[in-house]
Every structure is written in structure tokens, then in C-alpha cells.
Amino acid sequence: MKLPTQNDSDRGQVGIGTLIIFIALVLVAAVAAGVLVTTAGDLQSRASDTGQDAQAQVSNQIDVVSATGEVNANDSIGTVSLVVKKSPGSDPIDLSEATIEYTSSGASETLSFSDTLGTNAFTTTAIDGGPTEVLENTDERIEITIDASSIETGDGLAEGGDAELRIVDQSGATTVYGVNVPDVLTGDYAQV
């Protein structure tokens, strides 16, 4: 048996083409890794934002403490006033950034905050010297006033009528309140 001997005249050679291909592979792998890391970071950021938005929509709730309607000359409810507070655990709720979707059998309107009452606007009033627009603490109350006469083409909400108020705050959280007018209205105000 003959053992192989070392031959100094045989040499392995790497061509310039092979070297270029190797460098190109390393560069492509580096770019792919960079894109992967960037994409993972973006997805993590989006997931975090989505989670925070979902949490805000679930936890930011407005509680309606009471609702009264002012009886107009037509024996209908002319204005609806809601006394509201924020639910425990909610972030501050800015009513100037909220909308109210008013829906009844005779009208449908989206209301925005305004300093003056109107067909497509609601106003807010401070109660007991509290804030007029932002609910920061659960003991604060704000009165929201809606002009049902303007929305319902001058008549207001008739006896036995009803409307749905969908309050959507700045985070997208929704509170639904049903206004139910008594069958017989007596006096200047009625619980609705």
C-alpha cells in the first residue's frame, strides 16, 4: 500500500468570481436580517398600539347618572339633559372631542360639541364648579344638553316616543343610552 505524499506543485485556487459570489451572499444575508429586524419591530409597535387602543375602548366608559327632558309648548320633550361621569378606571374623557349619534323613528343626526345648542351640536355645563368639558375624576359630573326640538324638526320627542343616544369619546369607546319619553307629560320636566 502506497501512502499519498505531499506534492508542493498542486495548489487550490479560488477565482475572483467565487470570491465575489461569497461577498454577495454575505451582503444579501445582512440586508435580509436587517429587513427582518425592522419588520419585527414594526409589528411589535403596531401590536402594542392596537392593544392600547382596545384597552382604551373597553375601559373608557361614560356613565349616565340621570337624564331629564324639558317639556315644551307642544307637550313634547324639547331638550334632553344627561348628567354624566366617567367610569372607574377610565382615562380622562374629553367631551369636546366626543360625538353623539342621535337616532329616533323620525330623525338621525350626528352631534358634535359646540358652545351653542343646535341641530347638529350639543353643549356641556359644569356641575358644582367642576370642569365643563373634561372628566378627569369619577366624582366629577358634566351635564350634556341636546336640542331634540331642532333635531326632530321643531316638535321634539312626543309622548311615548324614544331615541337612542350613542356617545363616542375620543378613544372610540361607545356608551349607548336610550331616551324613553313617558306616555303622559305633566309639569316642566320629565325623567327620560
Start-end of H helices in 5-124: 16-59
| Closest C-alpha among 34, 48, 40, 62 to residue 144 | 62
**Count of the separate structural domains present in the chain:** 2
User: At residue 3, does pLDDT exceed 80?
Assistant: no
Question: Rg (Cα) of the chain, in Å, rounded?
Answer: 33
Spatial contact of 185 and 155, defined as CB atoms under 8 Å apart: no
Grid cell, residue 78, equals 324639547
Q: Is 141 a member of any domain?
A: yes
Q: Is 4 a member of any domain?
A: no
The parent domain of residue 78 ranges over 62-191
Q: Do 168 and 74 reside in the same domain of the chain? A: yes
First vs last C-alpha separation in the chain: 110
Which residue carries 373634561 as its cell? 134
Q: Do 69 and 41 reside in the same domain of the chain? A: no
pLDDT at 12: 58
CATH of the domain at 168: 2.60.40
**25-75 tens-digit pLDDT:** 999 999 999 999 888 888 887 777 676 655 555 567 899 999 999 999 888
Tell me whether residue 119 is exposed, middle or buried, using C-beta atoms within 10 angstroms of its C-beta: 0 to 12, 13 to 18, 19 or more: middle
Instruction: Report the C-alpha gap between 82 and 63 in whole angstroms.
Output: 10
Q: 1 to each of 51, 111, 129, how far by Cα in Å?
A: 75, 100, 108
Q: Do 76 and 40 reside in the same domain of the chain? A: no
Which residue carries 436587517 as its cell? 34
The domain boundary residue, chosen from 59, 74, 94 = 59
Q: Is 150 a member of any domain?
A: yes
**85-114 tens-digit pLDDT:** 988 888 899 999 999 999 998 899 999 999
Q: Do 45 and 90 reside in the same domain of the chain? A: no
Q: Is 31 a member of any domain?
A: yes
DSSP state of 96: G
| Closest C-alpha among 132, 152, 138 to residue 76 | 152
Q: Is 114 a member of any domain?
A: yes
Q: Do 47 and 77 reside in the same domain of the chain? A: no
User: At residue 11, does pLDDT exceed 90?
Assistant: no
Instruction: Report the C-alpha gap between 175 and 111 in whole angstroms.
Output: 14
Grid cell, residue 189, equals 320636566
- 3-state secondary structure (DSSP) of residue 115: coil
Backbone angles phi, psi at 11, to 5 degrees: -130, 145
Q: Is 5 a member of any domain?
A: no
pLDDT at 118: 81
Instruction: Report the C-alpha gap between 127 and 141 in whole angstroms.
Output: 6
